[in-house]
Amino acid sequence: MLDAAEVKEVKPDSAATPDHGSWTLRTRQFVDRVLPMDHLLPHRQPYYVGSWVYVFGVITIAALVWVVISGVVLSFMGPQWWHTSSLGRFFNSLHFWSVQLFFLFMVLHLWGQYFMAGWRDGRAATWMIGVVIFAASILTAFTGYLSQQNFDSQFIAINAKDAMNSGGIGAFFNVLNFGQMYGLHVMLLPIAVTFLVVWHIVMVRVRGVVKPIGPEGGSAS
Partner 1 sequence: MDTPARYFDLWFIHISYPNLIVIGLMIVLFAVALVAPFPHGSDRDA
Residues that bind partner 1 (CB under 8 A): 44-53, 55-56, 104, 107-108, 111-112
Long-range CB pairs of 50-57, under 8 A, 24+ apart, other chains included: 53/112, 53/116, 54/112, 54/209, 56/105, 56/108, 56/109, 56/112, 57/105, 57/109
Give the residue with the Cβ less far from partner 1, 183 or 208: 208
Give the residue with the Cβ less far from partner 1, 170 or 208: 208
The least distance separating partner 1 from the CB of residue 50, rounded to whole angstroms, comes to 3
- The total of other beta-carbon atoms located within 10 Å of residue 140's CB is 22
DSSP, collapsed to helix, strand or coil, labels residue 139 as helix
The least distance separating partner 1 from the CB of residue 162, rounded to whole angstroms, comes to 21
The least distance separating partner 1 from the CB of residue 173, rounded to whole angstroms, comes to 26
Give the residue with the Cβ less far from partner 1, 151 or 172: 151
Give the residue with the Cβ less far from partner 1, 23 or 47: 47
Give the residue with the Cβ less far from partner 1, 69 or 108: 108
Q: What is the DSSP letter of 171?
A: T
The least distance separating partner 1 from the CB of residue 21, rounded to whole angstroms, comes to 41
Dihedral angle at the C-alpha atoms of 145, 150, 154, 157, nearest 10 degrees? 10
Nearest to 63 by CA among 107, 126, 129: 107
The least distance separating partner 1 from the CB of residue 177, rounded to whole angstroms, comes to 28
